[in-house]
Amino acid sequence: MSSFGKIAAMHHPMAINLAERPSQATCGDCGARHVGLCDALSDEELVFLLRAAQRVSLPAGKLLMEEGEPAQHFYNVNAGTVRLFKALPDGRRQITGFASPGHFIGLAATDVNVVSAEAMEPVQLCRFSRAGLRAISVEYPALERKLLEVAMHELALSQQQMLLLGRKTAQERIASFLLSWAQRQEICGAGKLPRPNAKLTLPLSRTDLADYLGVTIETVSRSLGQLKKDGLIEIPNIHEIILLRPKALEQIAEAAS
């Protein structure tokens, strides 16, 4: 186990053995069948993908992928939310993203995992053997091309995250995150604003948000409080935020663009 793995095991008593009773994957009852890559595949094409897939269910707090460990699998999230993060030398973590239904995890073309992935809530995933998928790709090259498109999309998201951390103030980061999460939850289309009074459901904690945006928990609370005071958002509880004035949030989010 890597040095990070030993740290993760101490902080995550549920850190895993991924043989979590995997079962043969099926698509009929999958929450991601009509999202992301799976939506782009026909039923016939999915047959090829399923040859390399196993359905895995994990409880909250389980690591499904560990930074620095051999990259033997990648995953498609069917239900629930997964946090992706890197360990910093001083023991802190930087959350690099969140994966929800339809998102693939671990597509980077490296021999080791470049990030760790942890279930934030009970999740269901399809787990794919890299070796098995390579064999299928030889038989069905179109599948490999579509997976490449998914990887390119993930790269674009990483570039957006670099802008978020490098150029924007704390309040601009919060506003950008809220609008991007609205698109993630399909409250609005890509590049469009949600309607006024749209409700966001956030499975992540304030600590998660701080680790993702590169600020302190106090800064997150202060920035959210200011947006609420200005009448841009309402916060019914810790896991819900109502976007009262999305256009005003967009103006804040784009101030550094």
What's 200's domain CATH number? 1.10.10.10
Q: Which of 102, 130, 161 is the last residue of a domain?
A: 161
- Amino acid at the residue 52: A
Most confident of 53-57, 163-167, 240-244, 253-257: 240-244
CA atoms 2, 128, 187, 145: torsion sign? positive
Alpha carbon 152 to its chain centroid, in Å, reads: 15
Its domain, for residue 197, covers 169-253
Last-in-domain residue among 116, 141, 161: 161
Separation of CA 198 from chain center: 21
What pLDDT, on the 0 to 100 scale, is given for residue 63?
Answer: 94
Q: Which residues, other chains included, contact 195 with Cβ-Cβ below 8 Å and sequence gap of 6+? A: 187, 188, 246
Contact status, residue 84 vs residue 123, Cβ threshold 8 Å: no
End of a domain among 161, 178, 201? 161
Average pLDDT for 230-249: 96
37 and 96 assigned to the same domain? yes
For residue 185, what pLDDT is reported?
77
The number of domains in the chain is 2
Residues 238 and 120 reside in one and the same domain: no
Same domain as 174, residue 155: no
Q: What is the pTM of this model?
A: 0.73
Same domain, 113 and 13: yes
Same domain, 109 and 24: yes
Residues 69-99 pLDDT 10s:
998 888 889 899 999 999 888 888 889 889 8
